[in-house]
Amino acid sequence: MVVPLFSPLYRSIIRFCDPHVPLRLRPLWEHPAGPKTVFFWGPLQKWCLVLTGLSDTLGRPGDKLSLPQASSLSLTGFIWSRYSLVITPKNWSLFAVNFGVGLSGLFQVVKVLRYKASQPPGSAGPTPALRRHGQAAGSCCRHACRAAATAAAVPTCRESGAALVPGLGGRKPDGGDRSAAPAAAIRDAGLWL
């Protein structure tokens, strides 16, 4: 187990720093949820979850975010925010980080709902098979364009003219370029919407 190896090291670092803590910071240092306890370091490390949620909110399009995951993240953050004020000692750093987790999840929920509301009625999103591969229906990996799929034609990329095979990451199953894939085989296999 790793923890017993680091406990003596941690305690010696705390003993070394103890006399050097300024008087202004003494109340924080001596607090029951201060740096001498796990109640301080756990919330400090949990801020990475908040930063990750915010980077997803700012960096990912709405169709790439998961509504159930964002909802559970938001709900968990707000529930644990309440809990952090009920326990003794009140842990304000735990409250702040959990509230941040709840807000970042709520931002993602709003982004997903706004994306879904902006879609025209009756437009079909990616099929479950395409969602597994992380590609939108009819998307070309090279140019990120969408083709106007009709029942009579195989969708093609507007720039390269390559046939779109969603879910294959720009390649045929044999590893070759998808522009060489026969259109009839793609249509018959039902690999496009």
Instruction: Provide the whole-model pTM.
Output: 0.54
pLDDT score for 29 = 86
pLDDT digit string, tens, across residues 13-72 = 888 988 999 999 898 888 887 888 777 888 888 888 889 888 888 899 989 999 999 999
Beta-carbon contacts of residue 151 (< 8 Å; ≥ 6 apart): none
Rounded to an integer, what distance in angstroms lies between the CA atom of residue 155 and that of residue 10? Answer: 61
Rounded to an integer, what distance in angstroms lies between the CA atom of residue 70 and that of residue 66? Answer: 6
pLDDT score for 132 = 47
Beta-carbon contacts of residue 126 (< 8 Å; ≥ 6 apart): 63, 135, 136, 137, 166
149 has pLDDT over 50: no
Ranking 88-97, 99-108, 109-118 by mean pLDDT, the lowest is 88-97
